[in-house]
Amino acid sequence: MASSNLIPAAIVIAGGSIGVGLYFGLAAQAPGSSNTPHALAKLTPPAPTSSPVPPWTPPPTVAPRSAMEVKQVTAAAQAALAELKPKLKRACWDPAIAETPEPAQARWTWDVTFDTRGVEIARGISDVRGLERADVADCLRRQPLGMRVPAPSRTTRVTLQLELP
């Protein structure tokens, strides 16, 4: 029992000894001496160059996206999701409902981003409170990206709804 009280004290003494040894060992070295480790030599900042850093220029402004374009992309994305719905139902809903029949209906909010080529580049799927099924939502999140819409003028984020069955 007495030896278990000595373990923390021994750790503190050993740590202190190591710290003191490192301090005096490093303090004895003159800065810039030839026995500086190679890795530390790489960490020294490079010598200043004669060419100055170019002045900061603000990024170009992007013309605001029209509300009509966002509506068009949203409608096209909702149609693409509706086209994808039977595949999602077979892959995620049917196996889950066979295992756990309740709740028999669920809804999710999809937050989808399309690039300027109209290709889905990001997706977030959130449960709608009161109509959630975590098992199906997990499966939906594992499905690969792949929706396509007509190419918007710039990256566009839309919010969609999916309800199963």
Asked whether 114 and 156 are in contact (CB, 8 A), the reply is yes
Q: What is the pTM of this model?
A: 0.57
Instruction: Name the token pair of 140.
Output: 């939906």
pLDDT value at residue 83 = 92
pLDDT value at residue 32 = 57
pLDDT value at residue 77 = 92
Total length of the chain: 165
Asked whether 77 and 134 are in contact (CB, 8 A), the reply is no
pLDDT (tens place) for every residue of the chain, 165 residues total: 556 778 888 888 888 888 888 777 776 665 655 555 555 555 666 666 666 667 777 666 555 567 788 889 999 999 999 999 999 899 988 898 888 888 888 899 999 999 889 899 999 998 888 888 888 888 988 888 889 999 888 888 999 998 888
Residues 84 and 93: their CA atoms lie apart, in Å, by 13
3-state DSSP percent of the chain in helix, strand and coil, to 5 = 45, 15, 40
